[in-house]
Amino acid sequence: MTPALPGQLLIDGKSVAIEGERNLLELIRKAGIELPTFCYHSELSVYGACRLCLVQVEGRGILPACSTPPETGLSIRTATEEIRQIRRLIVELLLAQHHSQCPTCGKSGGCQLQSLARRLGVDSVRFKPVPRLPTPDRSTPSLVRDTSKCILCGDCVRYCAEVQGIGAIDFAYRGAQSAVVPAFNKPLSDVECVLCGQCAAICPTGALTPRSELPEVWKVLDDPTRHVVVQLAPAVRVALGEQFGLEPGTVTTGQIVAALKALGFAEVYDTAFAADLTVIEEAEEFLKRKGGGGSLPQFSSCCPAWVKFAEQYYPDLLPHLSTCRSPQQMLGSLVKATLPARLKIDRQNLVMVSIMPCTAKKFEARRPEFKTNDQPDVDFVLTTQELARMIEERGLSFTRLEPASMDMPFGFKTGAGVIFGSSGGVSEAVLRYALEKVPGVKGDAIEFQETRGDAERRVVTVACGDQQLTLVIVSGLRKAREVAEEIKSGALKADFIEVMACPGGCVGGAGQPLSRSSEARRKRSRGLYDTDRMLELHKAQDNHLVNRCYQEVLHAPGSHEAHDLLHTVYHSRRRINQENLRLSDSPPTQPVTVRICVGTSCYLRGAQELLRDVNRFVTDRQLAERVDVRATFCLEACDRGPTVRINEKILHRADLGQVIKSIEDILEVLTPLPAGST
Amino acid sequence: MPLPLPNRFDRVCKILDDHDRNPAHLIPILQAVQDEYRYLPEEIMVYVATSLGLPPARVYGVATFYSHFALEPRGKYIIRLCDGTACHVKASIPILEALQRRLDLTPQRKTTPDLRFTLETVSCLGACGLAPVLVINEEVYGQVTPARAIELVEALIAKESPHVTANA
């Protein structure tokens, strides 16, 4: 064995240069040895829990490579007999506690526990299996949480907290009882999860998986009374091929359309058509705000996880969110409003399915705002992975399919709608529109390279006539939180802010084929920008079928009809569903109930002092028998806090005097003070 | 008498303020809150979490990790019976059974419905020389027998409420 040179160390006897790697694991992988890991992800903090990356460091013993910094002269062995045995033992122990249901598991084929067991040659488990079998959590339309398959690597916990800045799930309990659960072990639907699904994308096993709607979709496809149409999101066409052995970024739009037709969908439409429509509505809204008619900066609203996040954490910024529905919902409402008459079918029998790279879209489609006469505008949402499974189940040979084209009019798009699927795409598409609409500005620019890139947060300044437009592009909700805080404090000035919850935008969505590298995401993005270049048209305003849609149905951007079909409203949303905080001992049968919001916004506006003063008033006047005071979290009017509800009456910007007066008014009516009777 | 609820909530706010709403002080804050309520009510944990800017799931994780924290209402008198090796060998289980019979409790139901008594076992109190050991709130009793344990509990019942009848 040769001694290591300065700046080098030895890996299995071979000299390797240290070039800024943060830990031995990165260095070993650079040297071409794929050490197994469950809990190491370069974009997350180092956790060191799975112990699979143990290596023999000469003179120091056995150490985890992920949390050992590289040093000149170290001599490392990665596969001694002892280490091989340790690794196999770890996998064996995990399997003993794992609820192995491989053939029927949602992660089968993409499960790292399965593939590592095979790779490490674990062919039997010597321990008595002791799986815990809690009922899987199916409370949300987007995800299934099955802790019986959890190996406690903590990837989901760190992703949710570190990249998304939420922390909806965390470790709880101790020892053999340890589990990753939402707060108070509530179902996921009752906590602050925004359903982005990145936990499921990073989960090495089947503990977190996207929830499938395949059985329902197969059923409607087989029902001759239903007319089933489908829309295809931009990001799907550059990723689906991966499930069939193609390179990430390969554009397979034609094959996907052919497959959808073969599966029995009557019409195939492009969500990018609705994205063109979104560009026009959103840019017009922006120009109106910029002209002095509303709150700036304007935040984009096409990402449903971001919308839910904003509703939970930034209710005071909701007036800044574009009122535009997402392309999925615009197309849903437009198709349901126009197609029945054209095809002479009953609206009830028209079914809209969408193929999305996203799990949060399943939640979005079920929002009550997007229902017409109690019927959802989009009936079912399938992920890219689910569509691939349909193609497999139907036995279609995807790569050999003859390409087919989408149906008109909603299958026609420009490049502007296609690039929506990449972070920065919405901003670029809006610029292509807005710059042409500003009087005196010649808008022949098509590509705005500065909006593209990998950074999670990019600030772009564009000259627009005599003014400068500042656009901020963020992906990942922790970054979105930073930007929102800076906007609130005034530290950041911007005109337009595009937020995508998933890194890289929709191409990195949790419904996409599983991929452990950011390289796949970049290639998918490139696929979208290449598609834009190959299309004849690049600006939403040049989409003549969108324009015809305006002539025939919508009349003009921002019109009454457009508002009915293409826009929406937002509501502040409680983060956790639970009881109000009881503050008085007597049972709540008092005639007057006072609920004081102590949520974050109201707290900052002095809700706590108000609560104390109201309590003092009730105690001093000995009204505890008649007035029930409780603190509550979020009366959903955070921008006008502190908010107090007294029986049915809501007081905004409440002060003690108002509250006392309201209480006295009610008491007066209910039980005239017994002054005269004594 | 425990403080009335409004005052207890005031105290929680004061506890948070005393710790400058510093998330690094979560454990001492939860300890102080538990001193007020004798357990950690869910709504209070959410309030503590939002006040500290922490996700509620993190607070729940900490609260469920340490056996010191209780998530269910607990009695005014918390009886901790040691069942560590020394106490177990010196027959702690008959004491446990006698207390469970007297207070009508089970391994699952640890607190009396009137919230007077909570009966728990602990793994070691570090007083093995006195085995078997019983602790009621902060008071330590050594070399306890089932009869002696019942005697202690009867005294507390009598002291607590002369008007409460035996079936309470």
Q: What is the pLDDT of residues A243-272, one digit of tens each?
A: 999 999 999 999 999 999 999 999 999 999
Least confident piece of the model among A68-72, A157-161, A503-507, A628-632: A628-632
Partners of A633 on chain B (C-beta within 8 Å) are 43, 46-47, 50
Residue A598 to residue B47, Cβ atoms within 8 A: yes
Which of A171, A582, A598 has the CB atom closest to B61's CB atom?
A171
Domain identity same for B43 and B88? no
Please, are residues A69 and A22 in contact by the beta-carbon 8 Å criterion?
yes
Burial (CB < 10 A; 0-12, 13-18, 19+), residue A117, is buried
Residue A469 pLDDT > 70, yes or no? yes
Domain identity same for B50 and B89? no
Which of A429, A426, A417, A496 has the alpha carbon at shortest distance from A459? Answer: A496
Residue B150 in domain: yes
- Alpha-carbon distance B146 to nearest alpha carbon in chain A (angstroms): 32
Residue A676 pLDDT > 50, yes or no? no
CATH code of the region A100-208: 3.30.70.20
Residue B10 to residue A619, Cβ atoms within 8 A: no
Partners of B61 on chain A (C-beta within 8 Å) are 170-172
Q: What is the pLDDT of residue B74?
A: 87
If you average pLDDT over residues A194-205, what whole number do you get?
95
- Residue A677 or residue A607, greater confidence: A607
What is the average pLDDT value for chain A, to the nearest integer?
89
Residue B21 in domain: yes
Q: Categorize the per-residue pLDDT at A582 as very low, low, confident or very high, splitting at 50, 70 and 90.
A: low
- Alpha-carbon distance B41 to nearest alpha carbon in chain A (angstroms): 9
Residue B23 in domain: yes
> Residues 59-88, chain B: which have Cβ within 8 Å of A?
59-61, 64-65
Helix (H) or strand (E) holding A376: strand A375-376
Q: What is the pLDDT of residue A436?
A: 83
Provide the residue range defining the domain that includes B41.
5-65
- Write the CATH number for B145: 3.40.30.10
Q: What is the pLDDT of residue B5?
A: 62
Residue B42 to residue A184, Cβ atoms within 8 A: yes
Partners of B59 on chain A (C-beta within 8 Å) are 183
Partners of B47 on chain A (C-beta within 8 Å) are 581, 598, 631, 633
Task: Taking the CA atoms of A28, A34, A35 and A37 in sequence, report the sign of the dihedral they define.
Answer: positive
- For the stretch A522-581, pLDDT in tens is 999 999 999 999 998 998 889 999 999 999 988 888 889 999 999 999 988 877 776 666
Q: Is A552 helix (H, G, I), strand (E, B) or coil?
A: helix
| Residues of A annotated catalytic, as ranges | 282, 285, 302, 322, 361, 364, 369, 506
- Residue B94 or residue A669, greater confidence: B94
Residue B59 to residue A183, Cβ atoms within 8 A: yes
What is the share, in percent, of chain A residues with pLDDT greater than 90?
A: 66
- For the stretch A599-618, pLDDT in tens is 766 777 788 788 888 888 88
Domain identity same for B47 and B113? no
CA distance A240 to A386: 10
Residue B72 in domain: no
Residue A454 pLDDT > 60, yes or no? yes
Would you call B10 an interface residue with chain A, using a CB distance cutoff of 8 Å?
Answer: yes
Residue A509 CB partners (closer than 8 Å, separation 6+):
A197, A235, A356, A357, A358, A359, A383, A384, A502
Report the chain B residue with the minimal C-alpha distance to residue A578.
Answer: B43
Strand partners, A324: A567
Q: Which of B15, B50, B59 to mutate to test the interface with A (most CBs of A within 10 A)?
A: B50
Domain identity same for B127 and B155? yes
Please, are residues B142 and B127 in contact by the beta-carbon 8 Å criterion?
yes
How would you classify residue A383: left for phi > 0, otherwise alpha for psi between -120 and 50, otherwise beta? beta
Q: Which CATH number fits domain A581-670: 3.30.360.10, 3.40.50.300, 3.50.50.60, 3.40.30.10?
A: 3.40.30.10
Residue B4 to residue A611, Cβ atoms within 8 A: no
Q: How far is CA A291 from CA A295, A428, A495, B110, in A?
A: 11, 20, 12, 66
Report the chain B residue with the minimal C-alpha distance to residue A618.
Answer: B6
Domain identity same for B86 and B155? yes
- Write the CATH number for B61: 1.10.10
Domain identity same for B93 and B60? no
Q: Which CATH number fits domain A215-401+410-566: 3.40.50.1780, 3.30.420.40, 3.40.50.10860, 3.30.2270.10?
A: 3.40.50.1780
Domain identity same for B91 and B113? yes
Residue A172 to residue B46, Cβ atoms within 8 A: no
Residue B166 in domain: no
Would you call B1 an interface residue with chain A, using a CB distance cutoff of 8 Å?
Answer: no
If you average pLDDT over residues B70-88, what whole number do you get?
91
Q: What is the pLDDT of residue A591?
A: 75
CA distance B85 to B20: 42
Please, are residues A155 and A202 in contact by the beta-carbon 8 Å criterion?
yes
CA distance A410 to A330: 11
Would you call B164 an interface residue with chain A, using a CB distance cutoff of 8 Å?
Answer: no
CA distance A535 to A577: 48
Q: What is the pLDDT of residue A389?
A: 95
Would you call B51 an interface residue with chain A, using a CB distance cutoff of 8 Å?
Answer: yes
Residue A168 to residue B10, Cβ atoms within 8 A: no
Residue A172 to residue B57, Cβ atoms within 8 A: yes
- Residue A623 or residue A28, greater confidence: A28
The CATH class that applies to domain A8-79 reads alpha beta
Which of A161, A608, A633 has the CB atom closest to B55's CB atom?
A161
Residue B134 in domain: yes
Q: Categorize the per-residue pLDDT at A145 as very low, low, confident or very high, splitting at 50, 70 and 90.
A: very high
Q: Categorize the per-residue pLDDT at A140 as very low, low, confident or very high, splitting at 50, 70 and 90.
A: very high
Residue A185 to residue B60, Cβ atoms within 8 A: yes
Residue A678 pLDDT > 70, yes or no? no
CA dihedral angle for residue A279, residue A280, residue A283, residue A289, rounded to 10 degrees:
-140
CA distance A154 to A160: 10
Residue B60 to residue A629, Cβ atoms within 8 A: no
If you average pLDDT over residues A342-348, what whole number do you get?
92
Please state the domain extents for chain A: 8-79, 100-208, 215-401+410-566, 581-670
The complex's ipTM works out to 0.85
For chain B, the domain total comes to 2
Which of A171, A584, A600 has the CB atom closest to B6's CB atom?
A584
Which of B10, B60, B65 has the CB atom closest to A612's CB atom?
B10
Size of interface A-B (CB pairs under 8 A): 93
Residue A169 to residue B57, Cβ atoms within 8 A: yes
Helix (H) or strand (E) holding A478: helix A477-489
Domain identity same for B84 and B145? yes
Partners of B17 on chain A (C-beta within 8 Å) are none
Report the chain A residue with the minimal C-alpha distance to residue B64.
Answer: A173
Residue B57 to residue A185, Cβ atoms within 8 A: no
What is the average pLDDT value for chain B, to the nearest integer?
88
Q: Is A416 helix (H, G, I), strand (E, B) or coil?
A: helix
Domain identity same for B101 and B42? no
What residue type is B36 in one-letter code? E
Q: What is the pLDDT of residue A194?
A: 96
Which of B6, B9, B56 has the CB atom closest to A183's CB atom?
B56
Residue A516 pLDDT > 90, yes or no? no
Domain identity same for B100 and B143? yes
Which of B5, B55, B64 has the CB atom closest to A166's CB atom?
B55
Partners of B6 on chain A (C-beta within 8 Å) are 583-584, 615, 618-619, 629
- Alpha-carbon distance B151 to nearest alpha carbon in chain A (angstroms): 32
